[in-house]
Amino acid sequence: MFKHQIEISAKRNNSNIVLALDLTGERNKEKLLSKSMSLLDKLSNLVCAVKINRHLTLPLGLFDGVDKLIKFIHKFELPVIMDCKINDVGSTNLIIAKNYFEAGFDAVTVNPVVGWVEGLKPVFDLAHKNGKGVITIVYMSHKGAKEFYERKIIDDGKLKSQYKIFAEKSLKWKADGVVVGATKPQKIGEVKKILGEKIPIYSPGIGFQGGKVKNTLLKGAKFLIVGRTIINSKNPRVEAEKILEEASKFIRF
């Protein structure tokens, strides 16, 4: 299963960094692929997984360049997450997930708002049948997230914040991970109380968006999703090493 796969990777590389490979500014497919692989060559032993989203899937093509990139990443024994935030009716969600898994992805992200029946159930069923992972979006890292994630909803007769309901649903659905932004350490702590040790928390937004390694880990996050802070730095490897050095003070990989 994906959860076991990423745990092994984290222990092997002594790292809890999930590299968000969000490269931009290059329209040439071959150059974009080459640049991506070059970065991975430098960082492969400093990260525990790689996250890819539409920054690469759109210009490279899923079964043209992205599948090649995934095979390259797998050579380093790193799992690959597709940050697609699946968010449609069940039949469409199933096709989306099937294509990403066939391209080689080890996990996908989903948006809990579409619900379970005729929503995300087909994705979870397909993933867990094939040893893949599903990570739910519980609270995003951007400023506008509070407009809806913090909205109060009546659930089973009780008034709750939407993100807490998403965390509870993640437990019920047996998600393999949840996303809570590093820019919201208090929310990380609240979600951690709901999840306990059953589901790991992945936190994006370290550095560039203002998230702090210390606050994020002390509140209960397990994996740090880091993109621009590393890939846009003058020396990506040095930047990754700095993050790991700080992280090692607060968590055992």
pLDDT tens string 117-127 = 999 999 999 99
End-to-end C-alpha distance for the chain, whole angstroms: 18
The answer on pLDDT for 19 being more than 90 is yes
Given pLDDT bands bounded at 50, 70 and 90, which one contains residue 10?
A: very high
Per the CB < 8 A criterion, the answer to whether 204 and 20 are in contact is yes
The CA distance from 171 to 56, in Å, is 31
pTM: 0.96
Lowest mean pLDDT, pick from 63-67, 205-209, 242-246: 205-209
232-241 tens-digit pLDDT: 999 999 999 9
* Sequential DSSP letters for 28-63: -HHHHHHHHHHHHHHHGGG-SEEEE-HHHHHHHIII
What is the average per-residue pLDDT within 223-252? 95
Residue 193's nearest CA partner among 205, 180, 209, 183 is 180
Strand-pairing partners, residue 160, are 153
Per the CB < 8 A criterion, the answer to whether 204 and 182 are in contact is yes
Averaged pLDDT of the chain: 95
The answer on pLDDT for 27 being more than 90 is no
Given pLDDT bands bounded at 50, 70 and 90, which one contains residue 145?
A: confident
The answer on pLDDT for 25 being more than 80 is no
The CA distance from 236 to 231, in Å, is 6
The answer on pLDDT for 60 being more than 80 is yes
What is the average per-residue pLDDT within 21-30? 88
Given pLDDT bands bounded at 50, 70 and 90, which one contains residue 95?
A: very high
Per the CB < 8 A criterion, the answer to whether 210 and 203 are in contact is no
Per the CB < 8 A criterion, the answer to whether 101 and 126 are in contact is yes
pLDDT at position 117, please?
Answer: 97
What is the average per-residue pLDDT within 150-176? 92
Higher pLDDT, 153 or 66: 66
Which sequence spans correspond to the domains of the chain? 2-247
Q: For the purposes of burial, counting CB atoms within 10 Å of the CB of 48, is it exposed (0-12), middle (13-18) or buried (19 or more)? A: buried
Given pLDDT bands bounded at 50, 70 and 90, which one contains residue 156?
A: confident
pLDDT at position 211, please?
Answer: 87
Collapsing DSSP states into helix, strand and coil, what is residue 83?
strand
- Per the structure block, which two tokens stand in for 132? 């893949």
Given pLDDT bands bounded at 50, 70 and 90, which one contains residue 130?
A: very high
The percent of residues above 70 in pLDDT, for the chain, comes to 100
What is the architecture, at CATH level 2, of domain 2-247? Alpha-Beta Barrel (3.20)
Q: What are the two backbone dihedrals, phi and then psi, of residue 71, each rounded to the nearest 5 degrees?
A: -60, -40
pLDDT at position 190, please?
Answer: 97
Collapsing DSSP states into helix, strand and coil, what is residue 26?
coil
